[in-house]
Amino acid sequence: MTQSEANIVVDLLENATRHPHKSAVISGSAEVSYGDLVSSIRSRAAFIQASGIAAGNRVGVVTRDPLEDLLVRLAVTYLDGVPCAINPETDPATRAAMIELYGLNVLFEADDCFSSLPQSIRMDARWRISGSAASTAEVGRSDMPECQMILTSGTTGTPSAVIFSRSWYRLISYNFTEEGLLNRETVFLSQSPHFTNAGTMLPLIVLMAGGTVILRQAQGLESIVAIANDYDISLLFLPPQFASALVQLAQQKDDVRLLPKVESILVGSDFCPPELLDDILHYLSPRAFVAYGSSTCGLVSILHQEEAQAKAGSVGNASPGVKIQIVDNDDREVPRETVGRIRIRTPIVPLEVIGPAKFNGEEIKDGWVYPGDIGRLDEDGFLFVMGRESDVFHCMGKAIYPVEIERCLAKCPDLAEVVVAGVPAHEDTYPVVFATGNASLTAAQLAEFAASAMGPASDPLKYAIIDAIPRNPAGKALKRDLVASYQAGRFFQEA
């Protein structure tokens, strides 16, 4: 692999040459052009190089500033190192474990995140000044294929680390472009925390294409709406629960276009009910897509709005260059409409998966990526995801698919959010429905709705009405926390 294929910053250098004054990144009051972006990357690369970082070194970046995180990760990439954004709320013991597990050579840590570990290097004012004064670093010339390390969400256990090449990023950028989601005029609001999969990957893809990235600074729905409208945001990526909250805000305001300048909304990271997609199109944006992907294989499929009615509940057809199969536990392909393990083949697979991936169902085998999900393909090749392998359990000898129950209950009046998890009890595992809603929602009401929607299949369900669904920074429900709280009797349970 040549250097131009291995180093992601080459695309940014080309964009800086063609459009040096075009806005690349806006973060709070800071606006960085493509020309300034490259200068900032080079200045940080000089200090990183002087710190002894060599091509191939794996470098953790720990900061609460999303712009600094982006610049440092790109500076590491500039030198053919392999950066990894780390949640700044992790404690020193967790960081030490990550160093060991993922083979990190060093941690660059901001002042307010400094852990004093032996591998820690403090990023402070002197750090940036000395880097700027010694700005002699050159873009990496090695043939290192490794480009970026991304951590999975950790929803089902300890996060795995996935290492990608620049070519993988180029493929994802190409697929976004082919789907009509990305071009040089794109203005993308990165509202995901910068250390999550989406917060790490999507800004790089937009920058590679020459678009503009607005980095997340504000908290709260009103602030996000204000930023989207003030900066003429054209593309948003939203988890379903965030999209639902924006729809509810629009309904409260009686506003039939809460985000008038947003051209496209991509909904992903969790199941999007068909009703929610309709509401997004009505209240938020004239174009909306449902995406399916994972930390281990990137963008897999997209459901276009014109397909949504005929293929309700689907996540679409395979993206260009992507092949989807459903297989059994022996890796044999199963007939259409049969539930099994999802596996993906793309032109470029991740270089490595580190950590407890197989425990979570994630693995790379014989050129196929197994993202750890189960699902089925219909006769037209549309994919229906039925949840994580690790979420499926058996109750009274029958397989329970939590996502299927969640989809049935999503239409219940007064319900806001619902999550189903298996809770061990009496030598079996029972499905418990954890639900949030307005003050009038009761477990008895939910049980009655389940009985009418699901028939006898609702018999083993138990219910807990709770105040909020606990979620990780990526927006995914923390089922382990729900189960532990339920077993400890912390929830008011009615049925």
Q: What is the DSSP string of 148-204?
A: EEEE---TTSSPPEEEEEHHHHHHHHHHHHHTT---TT-EEEE-S-TTSHHHHHHHH
- Which residues touch 251 (CB under 8 Å, ≥6 apart)? 283
Q: How far is CA 133 from the centre of its chain?
A: 37
Q: What is the pLDDT of residue 323?
A: 94
Strand partners, 294: 298
Q: How far is CA 368 from the centre of its chain?
A: 21
Q: What is the pLDDT of residue 348?
A: 76
Query: DSSP secondary-structure letter at 263?
Result: -
The two structure tokens encoding residue 15:
């964009």
pLDDT tens for the chain, 495 residues long, are: 333 344 677 788 888 889 999 999 999 889 999 999 999 998 888 888 888 888 889 999 999 999 999 999 999 988 888 999 999 999 999 999 999 999 999 999 998 888 888 888 888 765 554 444 444 555 554 455 667 888 877 665 567 888 887 777 878 888 888 888 888 999 999 988 898 888 888 999 999 889 999 997 656 788 888 888 889 999 999 888 888 889 888 888 876 678 888 999 999 877 788 888 888 988 998 889 999 987 777 788 999 888 988 898 899 999 888 899 999 989 999 999 999 999 999 877 777 778 765 545 567 888 888 888 999 999 999 999 988 888 888 888 888 888 888 888 888 888 888 899 988 887 889 889 998 888 788 888 888 888 888 888 888 888 888 888 888 877 788 888 898 888 877 765 555
What is the Cα–Cα distance from 75 to 88, expressed in whole angstroms?
Answer: 19
What angle is formed at CA 16 by the lines to CA 349 and CA 204, rounded to 5 degrees?
30
The CATH number of the domain covering residues in 393-487: 3.30.300.30
What is the Cα–Cα distance from 319 to 303, expressed in whole angstroms?
Answer: 10
CA proximity to 464, closest of 482, 450, 449: 482
Measured CA to CA in angstroms, residue 184 lies from 66, 132, 180, 213, 304 at distances of: 22, 29, 12, 11, 22
Strand partners, 30: 27
3-144, CATH topology level? Rossmann fold (3.40.50)
- Which residues touch 311 (CB under 8 Å, ≥6 apart)? 303, 378, 380, 382
What is the Cα–Cα distance from 416 to 344, expressed in whole angstroms?
Answer: 33
The two structure tokens encoding residue 294:
């994972």
pTM assigned to the model: 0.83
- CATH code 3.40.50.12780 for 197-390: yes
Pairing of strands 212-215, 23-27: parallel
What is the Cα–Cα distance from 413 to 437, expressed in whole angstroms?
Answer: 9
**Secondary structure element (H or E) that encloses residue 348, with its range:** none
- Please tell me whether residue 422 adopts helix, strand or coil conformation: strand
Check the CA dihedral 248-250-256-259 and report its sign. Answer: negative
Q: How many CA within 13 A on the CB side of residue 118? A: 6
Domains 197-390 and 393-487 are alike in CATH topology: no
Check the CA dihedral 321-322-325-330 and report its sign. Answer: positive
What is the Cα–Cα distance from 245 to 147, expressed in whole angstroms?
Answer: 35
**Secondary structure element (H or E) that encloses residue 306, with its range:** none
CA proximity to 374, closest of 145, 146, 156: 156
Amino acid at 206: V
Dihedral Cα 213, 288, 193, 34, nearest 10 deg: -10
What angle is formed at CA 201 by the lines to CA 196 and CA 207, rounded to 5 degrees?
135
CA proximity to 437, closest of 415, 457, 404: 415
Check the CA dihedral 247-251-252-254 and report its sign. Answer: positive
Q: What is the pLDDT of residue 217?
A: 62
What is the Cα–Cα distance from 364 to 488, expressed in whole angstroms?
Answer: 37
Alpha-carbon Rg for the chain, nearest whole angstrom, is: 23
Domain ranges of the chain: 3-144, 197-390, 393-487
Q: What is the pLDDT of residue 218?
A: 59
CA proximity to 360, closest of 160, 134, 120, 88: 160
